Chains A and B, each alone.
Chain A
Amino acid sequence: MKHNLQFDFLADKVKNTLTIRREFKAHRQLVWDCYTQRELLDQWFAPKPLTTKTKTMDFSEGGHWHYAMIEPNGTEYWNWMAYQKIKPIDYYTACDAFANEAGDLNKDLPSSDWLVSFTDKGDNTLVETIVTYKSLSDLETVIQMGMEPGMIATLEKLDELLLLLNR
């Protein structure tokens, strides 16, 4: 399905941030719900072909979302998103860290700070996500660790594309 929805993906290699802006064809309340309710998050958050599973979620300041991204072969990657500030339906901030199924945080793997803001864009909604890592190499670790296995097919396609483009 082709669409003309805004999508910006900006990396600041000095500040170690990723800024991701994406427009959605829905009003703000509905988009906000998709980001903040477990039964909705479970339906989209993990990129294909991974799926999302929520163990516990308490969307409140000081609350958390304990979730896993699951590969088609069943391998689970557990994460812990700790919510800090919430202002419905404008923005929330959180810290995302690797964890295990019991909810123990893995301090050896890099965590990231998230600021997710929602604004109206006509009848649509613009969501800006700013993800801050402690260093760019942290971000690399996240990629290698986190979603890599399930993403290989997509990435191989991308590699082919890059080869073509570089010719």
Chain B
Amino acid sequence: MRRDIFQAIADPTRRAILALIAVQAMTPNAIAEHFNTTRQAVSKHLKILSECQLLKQQQQGREIYYQLEIDKMKEIDQWLEQFRTIWESRFEQLDNLLDHLKNQQK
């Protein structure tokens, strides 16, 4: 089973959960209240997010609070940055080509 950050954010409910707990740590019950799906469905999403290492768990008394693992989220940005580099390289070549064509026209 694939368990990485892309699996985590592939689902709209999981993205919504991440947005919720990015603001504050929450219990599973409090998270579930924000969704029209069943508690079980939310639990399943939380399990996947845990397996993707996006959740930090904190025990407070009897309750477990979930918090966002921010460092893990940064992986997405780093990965996107790689894509940016590819485009930069492509555009630099186009700059050179345009320079060359302009010189020919003169």
A-side residues, CB < 8 A to B, are 1, 3, 5, 7, 9, 11, 13-14, 18, 20, 22, 24-26, 30-31, 33-34, 40, 43-48, 135-137, 139-140, 143, 147, 151, 154-155, 158, 162
- Report A12 CB to chain B, min CB distance, Å: 11
Q: List 8 A-B contacts (CB under 8 A).
A: A24-B95, A31-B98, A34-B97, A34-B101, A40-B101, A43-B93, A143-B83, A154-B89
Chain A min CB distance to B103 (Å): 11
Chain A interface mostly helix, strand, loop or mixed? mixed
User: Which B-chain residue is minimally distant from A137 (CB atoms)?
Assistant: B6
Complex: A27 Cα to B85 Cα, angstroms: 25
Question: How long is the Cα–Cα vector from A143 to B9 in the complex, in angstroms?
Answer: 17
A10 and B73 CA atoms in complex are apart in Å by 16
B102 at the interface (CB under 8 A from A): yes
Do A143 and B76 touch (CB < 8 A)? no
Q: B residues within 8 A CB of A45?
A: 90, 93
Contact status B82-A155, CB under 8 Å: yes
Beta-carbon contact of A14 and B15 below 8 Å: yes
- Shortest CB distance B77–A (Å): 8
Residues from chain A with Cβ under 8 Å of B97 in the complex: 34, 40, 43-44
Size band of the interface chain B makes with A: 20 to 34
Is B80 an interface position by the 8 A CB rule? yes
User: Whole-angstrom distance from the CB of A14 to the nearest CB of chain B?
Assistant: 7
Known: A25-B98, A30-B98. A46 touches B90 (CB 8 A): yes
Inter-chain contacts of A40 with B (CB < 8 A): 97, 101
Q: Which 4 A-B pairs have the closest CB atoms?
A: A47-B89, A44-B93, A137-B6, A26-B98
CA distance A151 to B89 in the complex (A): 10
Q: Is the CB of B85 within 8 A of A158?
A: yes
Other A-B pairs beyond A151-B85, A154-B86, 16, CB < 8 Å: A7-B88, A22-B87, A24-B91, A26-B101, A30-B98, A43-B93, A44-B94, A44-B96, A47-B93, A48-B93, A136-B9, A140-B6, A151-B82, A154-B85, A162-B78, A162-B81
| Contact for A34 among B9, B80, B98, CB less than 8 A | B98
